[in-house]
Amino acid sequence: MNRIDNELKKLATFSATPNPSVTRIVFSKEDMDARAYFISLCEDIGLKVRVDAIGNTFARWEGSNPELAPVGTGSHIDAIPESGQYDGTVGVFGGLEAIRVLKESGYEPKRSIEVLLFTSEEPTRFGIGCLGSRMLSGQLTPKEAKKLIDFDGKSLEEVLKSADFTEDIASVKLPENYYNAFVELHIEQGPILEEEDLDIGIVTMIAAPSSLSVKLVGEGGHAGGVLMPKRKDAGCAAAEIMLAVESIAKNTTSENTVGTTGIFDIKPRAVNSIPKEAYLEIDLRDTFVETRNKALLDIQNKIEEVSNRRDIKSSVKLLNCDPPAICSDKLVDNVEAAAKELGYSYKKMISRAYHDSLFMAQICPTTMIFIPCRDGVSHRPDEYSSPEQIEKGVQTLALSLKALSE
């Protein structure tokens, strides 16, 4: 298994920030180089590679009956600023490694097996997560996608063009029943498996994520010149909202509600200037859609109350608000059988993080295989899963893909 460790190490060098931190924004030079590296490895073992109009990459191991709907696996390789080396990447390179393991064992699948590299699972560039899998599954229409603007104000179309993707994105949506099944290998991004000393998590449900952007416009002015009672400080309004998000998420009826203000920008951003404008992005998720929606409403009410009280203009945009995904019982049983056969310890669990599987679950039976990560840490340079933990994930995935492709 030195192979995948070395590949993940090499992959980490495609980063805009120095390792151990990894920054790989979709369609950046680092992302394009990493894609080329993945494709070259797939071609090395004879997989047929197709890249669609949005950059989703399909590496196909042709089955003996290529007419049958294939089995899919895969994940993403884009990485938010200054994050780690394992989120997503383990599912992409682990999918490839699973195929190599099966090939080397002499197995020949009946159904084709495809490893997918999804475009932009992270929302960093376009403010919306799972761009590739949303479009594949038809959850984001080409018309909606064409309205997306990146952090530099460039349209998706312009960005695609400059990355040499010139096909019509209307072609991205997969035909009905394209996949027979989809299984994604991923690090847990939480502490449960490590705490309970387990090898494998089998995902039965993916939490319902949502995100909001909030723009606040008050009044600026010189920090020395405007007395406190006359101020309309958009930054202080934003600070109140940030604390309200934290408090609302802490106080729902569900212990799985999490609320985060991950972006907090103020303008003009000078020590002696009163913040005239603030921009926030808020992430809220839960395993129960009702609890999440109630918390979302509480946050929106609080934004209104703060804005009115402080005489500040606010505009709120719901960036996404997706339903939770229920995983396929049949696939969960299949992964469980694989883990049992390999003698690995496991548990069935909920994914509180957001994955491409959330959208794949809309078009085919889906589940995920989790492996432990140190201290439950993710989206940080010290994110880590050991070679042994990764190997157990790959073996479980390989056995599941085998059973599903027979």
Minimum gap (Å) between residue 311 Cβ and a copy of itself: 15
Residues in region 126-185 near a copy of itself by CB under 8 A: 127, 129
Say which residue the tokens 């084709």 belong to.
112
Q: How far apart are CA 125 and CA 142, in angstroms?
A: 17
Q: Which of 352, 372, 396, 402 binds a copy of itself (CB under 8 A)?
A: 352
If one asks whether residue 220 binds a copy of itself (CB under 8 A), the answer comes out as yes
Angle CA 396–397–402, to nearest 5: 100
Q: Is 281 in the site for a copy of itself (CB under 8 A)?
A: yes
Binding flag, residue 106, a copy of itself (CB under 8 A): no
For 230, which DSSP code? Answer: G
Residue among 181 and 377 whose Cβ is closer to a copy of itself: 377
Nearest to 51 by CA among 162, 156, 132, 157: 132
Residue closer to a copy of itself (CB basis): 98 or 353:
353
Burial class (CB in 10 A: 0-12, 13-18, 19+), 275: buried
Specify the residue, 13 or 260, whose C-beta has the smaller distance to a copy of itself. 260
CB 98 within 8 A of CB 104: no
Q: Does 288 bind a copy of itself (CB under 8 A)?
A: no
Q: Which of 79, 104, 54, 50 is nearest to 187 (CA)?
A: 79
- Applying CB under 8 A, does 216 fall inside the site for a copy of itself? no
**Closest by alpha carbon to 365, among 337, 393, 403, 325?**
325
Among 283, 298, 322, 391, indicate the residue that binds a copy of itself (CB under 8 A): 283
Our finding on whether 239 is near a copy of itself (CB under 8 A) is yes
Q: Which range in 26-34, 276-284, 301-309, 322-330 contacts a copy of itself by CB under 8 A? A: 276-284
**Residue 395 interacts with a copy of itself (CB under 8 A)?**
no
Edge-to-edge strand ranges of the sheet holding 258-267: 258-267, 277-286, 208-217, 313-321
Window contacting a copy of itself (CB under 8 A); options: 30-38, 40-48, 70-78, 228-236: 228-236
Residue 396 C-beta-side C-alpha neighbours within 13 Å: 33
Q: Does 227 contact a copy of itself by CB under 8 A? A: yes
Tell me if 296 contacts a copy of itself by CB under 8 A. Answer: no
Q: Tokens representing 104? A: 């080397």
Q: Which of 303, 377, 390, 397 binds a copy of itself (CB under 8 A)?
A: 377
Contact 39, 113 (CB under 8 A): no
Residue 248 or 401 having the CB closest to a copy of itself: 248
Tokens at 312, concatenated: 């500040």
Pick the piece of the chain touching a copy of itself (CB under 8 A) from 38-46, 98-106, 188-196, 290-298.
Answer: 188-196
Q: Quick check: 262 binds a copy of itself (CB under 8 A)?
A: yes
Q: With CB under 8 A as the contact rule, which of the stretches 27-35, 134-142, 204-212, 340-348 interacts with a copy of itself?
A: 204-212
* Span 297-326, contacts to a copy of itself by CB under 8 A: 319
Dihedral Cα 148, 153, 156, 158, nearest 10 deg:
150
State both tokens at 226: 């405007």
Peptide bond just before 20 cis, omega within 30 deg: yes
CB atoms within 10 A of CB 8: 20
Interface map 43-72 toward a copy of itself (x if CB under 8 A): ------------------------------
CA distance 12 to 19: 7
Q: Residue 41 corresponds to which tokens in the numbers above?
A: 């490895």
Which residue, chain included where needed, has tokens 């319902």?
Answer: 208
Query: 302 vs 379, which CB is nearer to a copy of itself?
Result: 379
Question: Which one of residues 7, 87, 336, 356 is an interface residue with a copy of itself (CB under 8 A)?
Answer: 87
* 394 scored as a contact of a copy of itself (CB under 8 A): no
DSSP state letter for 175 = P
Stretch that binds a copy of itself, among 58-66, 108-116, 248-256, 341-349 (CB under 8 A): 248-256
| Using rule CB under 8 A, residue 354 touches a copy of itself | yes
In this chain, which of 54, 101, 202, 249 binds a copy of itself, going by CB under 8 A? 249
